[in-house]
Chains A and B, each alone.
Chain A
């Protein structure tokens, strides 16, 4: 087997125990919840006799030993059966699939925006190192870490939706809009996307500024950069092709590592902007104390993080040929 394939295979095998641990943790949390499914159903229906409860428990396999319940649970997950949300009146799996695209759109836009602006600011800071500009960028990026995202979102609404009336403050599309074609609809979604995406990007942006700046400073003084300059390359070419390329590796890694944090961010940001994604679904589940739905969201987003990190590692190996040798 060629080394690259072997690396892919090994990383796949490494991801499995993690996925299993997440499933186990999810199951434990489910068991930790006071009251089981039978209690939930009985609670929804108003009253219940002990016989009815017993029947329910038998029906949902809650009367068998815990380890067998766990096996059933795994089996369900393999069929993407995450249980039923009695508050929403829909299977958890379906609810999540319905909301996932909106969250992916929001997160990707936020990450891209953060990448663009963050790297740019990082480059500027590194190039003007020690100057007032560098200092200002550093202060702003620290502020990015220290600001509660929900508050930034609300303040942006005050400024851009209420005072200036430039952008819509909530939802993903204009209610009752009459679109003339696909392009019109995309434009409307785009307008709704701006504020939540900018808000969500703030946290990442600060990280990217820092990483880009320090990664650039690290390689700036190295021989190959001097060689590139000596060859007579333009400064822009030196920065983009030689310096920035080396900064790309930590940026890719951090994006993968921080993905879990961005899922946390979507809960807050989607709540602020009424964005119809997974985060908003989680907030609705919190509001109705729907633990089953929350656990389903937790499980799915954890899996997404694992898969993306796997992809990041493989991408990393592709970007940096040294990785395989080291392993």
Chain B
């Protein structure tokens, strides 16, 4: 089982059919990972959506005595930080930020990656060469540094952070899609389409694109996981959106208190871990489920 380069089986497309055909979730391990992952994700989404209801008001306002450890005061189940703000409220409000950046960045990477991959795979030749060289460039340079520089130049907003993360992540998608597109291009139905006199645009959109997307399903959830981690690193380094709350910046803020109150660091970090783990497990589970070559244990 490989994580970063999930392979896809012989059948073009038809993920849904494959999912349904998998008898009784026979691949127990895969479905267990998927189940745990989905549960984690559902929990995070639920918290993110209900943050405003559970904790109305600004989570940055002082709510009680500073530095209350979790489990001491029933009003603050997760304690309060060094300024007396409710940790639970801050963490709930941060969930949405992480998910938004993660999904926005992954969407950008998917759009660019799929477009580049399909074009490179379908047209081949010079188009392929140029696009693949560019993707190599992005894979060579230290992408977190590049992201940091972009955010410093553009200024830290949710949009610029998502852009800066997404723009470094597309090559992995492009390579996956390209490999599929190269395979699909040689299939009979593409030849048939050419014979029918279809233009490149129609062939790419109607035939090559939909049939090259299978491996992207698994990669997409890994992509979100990586984007959330990058976003957390950025906010930890002080490059988060100053108008929003985030787990990464909470870890950064709690750092000076590490000696006396490590829960201020441990809790938001744990939230990042669980969220990322959720997406990872979904990716792994889907990979086991969709990839017929994964050995059944």
Contacts and interface: CB of A to CB of B under 8 A. Distances in A.
Interface size class of B (residues with CB under 8 A): 35 or more
Nearest to A150: B236
B143 to A, nearest CB: 6
B229 interface: yes
Contacts of B2: 210, 214
B140 interface: yes
Residue picked from B139, B145, B262, most chain A C-beta under 10 Å:
B145
Contacts of B21: none
Contacts of A268: 144, 233, 236-237
A237 B238 CA distance: 51
A145 B229 CA distance: 9
B276 A146 contact: yes
A264 B265 contact: no
B197 to A, nearest CB: 39
Nearest to A264: B144
B141 A148 contact: no
B47 to A, nearest CB: 18
Contacts of B139: 257, 260
B258 interface: yes
B239 interface: yes
B284 interface: yes
Nearest to A203: B229
B137 A25 contact: yes
A282 B1 CA distance: 36
A260 B144 CA distance: 8
Interface in A288-321: 289, 291, 294-295, 297-298, 301-302, 305-306, 309
A130 interface: yes
Given A260-B141, A287-B238, A298-B141, A29 B280 contact: no
A214 B1 contact: yes
A56 interface: no
A201 interface: no
B148 to A, nearest CB: 6
Contacts of A297: 145
B73 interface: no
B44 to A, nearest CB: 13
Size band of the interface chain A makes with B: 35 or more
A148 B284 contact: no
Contact of A142 (B232, B258, B280): B280
Given A147-B273, A210-B3, A294-B149, A22 B239 contact: no
A261 B269 contact: no
Contacts of A147: 273, 276
Interface in B133-161: 133, 136-137, 139-146, 148-150, 152-153
A306 B266 contact: no
B110 to A, nearest CB: 19
A5 B256 CA distance: 55
A48 interface: no
B284 A286 contact: no
Given A22-B141, A148-B232, A298-B141, A267 B280 contact: no
B248 interface: yes
Contacts of A289: 152
Given A142-B277, A147-B273, A282 B145 contact: yes
A259 to B, nearest CB: 8
B30 to A, nearest CB: 12
Interface in B254-286: 255, 258-259, 262, 265-266, 269-270, 272-273, 276-277, 280-281, 284
Contacts of B95: none
A226 B132 CA distance: 40
B161 to A, nearest CB: 13
Given A146-B276, A158-B258, A291-B152, A267 B144 contact: yes
A151 B137 contact: no
A108 B232 CA distance: 25
Contacts of A33: 153
Contacts of B239: 286
A148 B233 contact: yes
Given A148-B233, A261-B142, A267-B144, A143 B277 contact: yes
A77 to B, nearest CB: 15
A154 B251 contact: yes
Contact of B142 (A21, A150, A260): A260
A40 interface: no
Nearest to A278: B145
Interface string B216-248: 000000000100010011001111000000001
A155 interface: yes
Interface of A: 17-18, 21-22, 25, 29, 32-34, 129-130, 135, 138, 142-143, 145-151, 154-155, 157-158, 162, 207, 210, 214, 257, 260-261, 263-265, 267-268, 271-272, 282-283, 286-287, 289, 291, 294-295, 297-298, 301-302, 305-306, 309
Minimum-distance CB pairs A-B, first 4: A264-B144, A151-B269, A263-B142, A146-B276
Given A157-B258, A282-B145, 11 more contacts: A33-B153, A146-B225, A155-B266, A158-B266, A214-B1, A267-B145, A267-B148, A268-B236, A282-B148, A286-B239, A305-B140
